[in-house]
Amino acid sequence: MTNKKAYKGNVIYSKDKDTLIVYDNSYVIVQDGRIVDILKDLQPDFPNENVINYEGKLIIPGFCDMHVHAPQFLQMGIGMDKELLDWLDTYTYPNEAKFKNIEHANEVYSQFVNELLRHGTLHVNCFPSIHYEASSILFKLLENKGVYAFTGKLNMDQNSPDFYIEDTNKSIEDTEKFIIEHKKSKNVTASIVPRFAITCSEELLNGLGNVSLKYNAPVHSHMCEAVNEMKICKELFPNYKNGAEIFNQNNLLGKTPTIMAHCIFMDDDVLELMKNPNCMAVHCPDATSNVNAGGIMPVKKLLDLGINLAIGSDVGGGTSLSIPRMIATTIQHSKIRNMFDNQYEAVNLQEAFFMATRSGGRYFNKVGAFDKGYHFNALIIDDFNMYGDNYSSLERLERFCYSGDDRNIIKRYIDGNEIEIKI
């Protein structure tokens, strides 16, 4: 008797940024939660009861949302015409401050994790609130569902409202405590999450950098996001050449896996720093801050430079947890950017899908693709309600990204286990 499973369907995944591999009508062989092989035909003695038949459907890797604010889930789609700093003051800080209440955190984060999974996000890099207990709840909820995740406790000790600010030393101590207390998790890793340079003193950033080095903890923050944000950074940190150096010189950029959201306005010095294989820039095409504040990341330029790139929903600055929708938006917005500034080509489906799967998942352990040895973290896509027929698997993948939604995701697997969601 084999303990292997065989998942039959039209299998698609990214080989590299330019190549989507398709195995039509084939079998993904999975043992102990990992991919052993992809076969056109099963061996004759393979037990029938171990074949899971998704014939005619697509089997694709689960998505990576590499920048999402868990507590902002409450305010998705609200205040979309507000400028970044005004939006933070009006909606975001009051909302995040509510997570001091543990019951509230438990209720909202339970919904949040369920919604992530519903949209096919199996790998996630979360932005939490400043609250230790709430952040711990989020960590455990992700862990319990098996989601591959980075998440931590947010830090902010300046330029923040009275009701939502920390003492510098307490913030550093709590962060270290959070990392020690949560370090043994299987798929979830505790990360360091300074909000952005504006709300963090140099002392705080320096302390967090030391914690990051001590525990090899990943770092997650925002950088080079909006024109006024960069202007204020320059005023607050006059001794640093640019926003990236503020992180870099405090051991928060590239010493450990470092994930920086937005990265729209980067000069050559910053691009050079971001080429470090420990760094990843996250494109959030739907983020209000991007759309409102005058910037669309020149994605193709960064891809060509070999900078690691992922896609993020940036909810609640973004309006949807759907990463396939963000794939389509990445492509569309790059085309519009290209109309007016055609020094870089537009992004194509291969590149955007790569960013949202294999590339986004690179700091987790072998996820986002179906190479041998990779975890079977997969989605089954049924496009039953999309009426045209006779389309190729790649055309159907494109259609799912542009015109599908969570209803087309009929199954989710992590480490070969089916993940149940609440409908």
203: tokens are: 């002392």
The contacts of residue 132 (CB under 8 Å, 6+ apart) are 153, 174, 177, 178
- Closer of 118 and 182 to its own copies (Cβ): 118
Asked if 125 is part of the footprint of its own copies (rule: CB under 8 A), the reply reads no
Is there binding between residue 231 and its own copies (CB under 8 A)? no
- Site for its own copies contains 93 (CB under 8 A): no
Say whether residue 1 binds its own copies (CB under 8 A): no
224 scored as a contact of its own copies (CB under 8 A)? no
Q: Should residue 76 be labelled a site residue for its own copies when binding is judged by CB under 8 A?
A: yes
Q: Supply the minimum distance, in Å, between the C-beta of residue 135 and its own copies.
A: 19
Q: Which of 246, 323, 401, 409 binds its own copies (CB under 8 A)?
A: 401
| DSSP E strands, 224-294 | 258-262, 279-283
- Edge-to-edge strands, sheet with 63-69: 63-69, 121-127, 148-155, 188-194, 219-223, 258-262, 279-283, 308-311
CB of 399 to its own copies, least distance (A): 4
In angstroms, give the least distance from the CB of 315 to its own copies: 9
* 68: nearest Cα among 311, 274, 411: 311
Q: Cβ of residue 387: shortest distance to its own copies, in angstroms?
A: 5
How does strand 258-262 pair with strand 219-223?
A: parallel
57 binds its own copies (CB under 8 A): no
Mark 100-119 with x for binding to its own copies (rule: CB under 8 A) and - for no binding. --------x--x--------
Taking alpha carbons only, the member of 200, 146, 150 closest to residue 171 is 200
Among 398, 408, 412, 414, binds its own copies (CB under 8 A): 398
Cβ atoms of residues 374 and 35 within 8 Å: yes
CA–CA dist 289, 285 (Å, integer): 10
Listed in sequence order, the residues at least 6 apart from 416 whose beta carbon sits closer than 8 Å to its beta carbon are 5, 30, 32, 33, 34, 375, 376
Residue 126 sits in the site that holds its own copies (CB under 8 A): no
- Which residues contact its own copies by CB under 8 A? 73-81, 95, 108, 111, 286, 291-292, 294-296, 319-320, 328, 331-333, 335-337, 339-341, 348-349, 386-388, 391, 395, 398-405
